[in-house]
Amino acid sequence: MRKKLNVHRRADGRWQGSIQVRGVRHYVYGHTKKETMRKLQRLAEQFKVALPGGEHTLMELLDRWMTAKSSGWSQSTVNGHQTVIRKYIAPVLGDFPLYDITPERIQALYTEMQRRGLERTAQKVHSILKRALRMAVVWRWINANPCDLVIAPTHKSHRRSVWTLDQLHQFLSAARDDWLYPFFYFLVSTGARVGEATALEWTDIDWNGSRVTIQRSMRSVKGQWIVSLPKTEAGRRTISLLPRTIELLQLQKERQSHWKALATSWWARDLVFTSQVGKPLHRYVPSRSLKNYCDRLRIPRIRLHDFRHLHASLLLAAGVPVPVVAARLGHSSPNVTLRIYAHMIQEDDAQAVNALMHLDI
């Protein structure tokens, strides 16, 4: 049953509300907007129809949306959405009833966030609001999604520079005797994500075939270690290992046996990369070590995740086909690889043109 809601302030200062039911418009009046909305709510109840928006606030909608959707998300996604809602949406729009969530208010939120340099976060806010308000339309809490009438935030990601081959050799040479060296080398030689490497178990290593199967990821969330499966089928993959990587994994196994002999408690999981007392390897430890090496060697600071980019860059620069690189990285499609590393492929194409200039044809 179609219902059209209209609430506005009259010239005499009073508020007027109306709702159209079965082609007939009915009016109520009040001294405040809230009073007028209450009268409209009672009017809608008399006609046994739902008032679009009603007294539902945006926070109520977001809570119900999270409850309805979160069962299909990873814990990290749930925590990320909760943080964005708590820090950026709730303080500004959370207490507003849905009928007051206008495109103008949403646009003002985006504008302020972009002014503060939070373009990427503004995109996340837009994604959450658009999907939650879409559900409100389906539930007939509102007639239309106000996010459809705003200019979506934009964010231009800055291309991060990765090390040159000389800088990589400089780092590997300096870190050769570090107990974290096998972990660093594994990242750069496989392109694995940090969470995939920390979740690796010894049974995932095929010593005879010199291969590793990557099939889970692990991260610390509020002090708890969460193990999750790959988001896509391509994320579960088996890749070949360099002979040097196999050697370092064997060294890691020997060192771990020594650590176990000295430990007062046994390892909870048969993890490949652990702390020296058997706990899962928190990314903060190698991240801090990497930062210190960069500063000491006076080379650009990079993140642990940049080893993955460095791995892909080296493969592409060597002419390895994009589908092969995509499979090794666990991308769902070569198009993902093309999108992330398009600048590298363009640079290689420019080199190809320069080479053709010298052909006598």
> Among 113-122, 139-148, 277-286, 297-306, which stretch is predicted with the lowest mean pLDDT?
139-148
What percent of the chain lies above the pLDDT cut of 70? 88
194/281 Cα distance (integer angstroms):
10
Return the beta strands (E) in 209-317 as ranges.
Answer: 211-214, 217-221, 224-228, 237-240
Q: Which of 150, 142, 104, 100 is nearest to 126 (CA)?
A: 150
How many domains is the chain partitioned into structurally? 3
pLDDT digits (tens, 9 = 90+) for 191-221: 999 999 999 999 999 999 999 999 999 988 7
Q: Which residues form the domain of 177? A: 165-352
Give the residue among 281, 286, 220 at the shortest CA–CA distance from 75: 220
Q: Distance between CA 190 and CA 325 in Å, rounded?
A: 11
Q: Are residues 253 and 301 in the same domain?
A: yes
Inside any domain, residue 201: yes
> CB within 8 A of 336, min separation 6: which ones?
326
Does residue 154 lie within any of the structural domains? Answer: no
Q: Do 34 and 80 sit in the same domain of this protein?
A: no
* Interacting residues of 199 by C-beta distance below 8 A, sequence separation 6+: 216, 217, 218, 227, 271
Burial of 358 from C-beta contacts in 10 A (0-12 / 13-18 / 19+): exposed
Residue of 241, 269, 239 whose CA lies nearest to 329: 239
* CATH (domain of 133): 1.10.150.130
Helix axes 165-174, 284-297, angle to 10 degrees: 110
Considering the entire predicted model, what is its pTM?
Answer: 0.67
- With respect to residue 259, please indicate whether it lies within any of the assigned structural domains: yes
Query: Is 155 a member of any domain?
Result: no
The model's confidence at residue 177, banded by pLDDT at 50, 70 and 90, is: very high
Same domain, 208 and 326: yes
Identify whether 51 is part of a domain. Answer: no
Q: Is residue 75 part of a domain?
A: yes
At 10-53, the pLDDT tens digits run: 999 999 988 877 778 889 999 988 788 888 878 877 877 666 65
Q: Is the pLDDT of residue 352 over 50?
A: no
Q: pLDDT per residue over 56-105, tens digit each?
A: 889 999 999 999 988 878 777 888 899 999 999 999 999 888 878 889 99
CB proximity list for 101: less than 8 A, separation 6 or greater:
58, 93, 133, 142, 146
Of 149, 175, 204, which closes a domain? 149
> Please, what is the average pLDDT of the chain?
86
Report which of residues 252 and 52 the model is more confident about: 252
Digit-coded pLDDT (tens) for 315-351: 888 888 899 999 999 998 888 888 877 766 655 555 5
Structure token pair of residue 190? 């496989």
Residues 21 and 117 in one domain: no
| Residue 63 belongs to some domain of the structure | yes
What confidence category does residue 159 fall into, taking pLDDT thresholds of 50, 70 and 90? low
Q: Per-residue b/e over 70-82, b at no fewer than 16 CB within 10 Å? A: eeeebeeeeeebe
- Map tokens 């206008």 to a residue: 102
pLDDT of residue 1: 37
- Averaged pLDDT, 109-133: 94
Q: What average pLDDT does range 235-259 have in this prediction?
A: 94
Q: What is the pLDDT of residue 160?
A: 63
Give the residue, 33 or 112, on which the prediction is more confident: 112
Instruction: Note the pLDDT of residue 335.
Output: 87
pLDDT in tens, 228-243: 888 788 889 999 999 9
Structure tokens at 304: 């642990």
| 306/136 Cα distance (integer angstroms) | 40
- pLDDT of 308 higher than 80: yes
Please tell me whether residues 169 and 194 are part of one structural domain.
yes
Please indicate, yes or no, if residue 158 is contained in any of the structural domains.
Answer: no
- Interatomic CA distance for residues 348 and 128, integer angstroms: 38
Single out the residue of 56, 114, 60 nearest to residue 88, CA to CA. Answer: 114
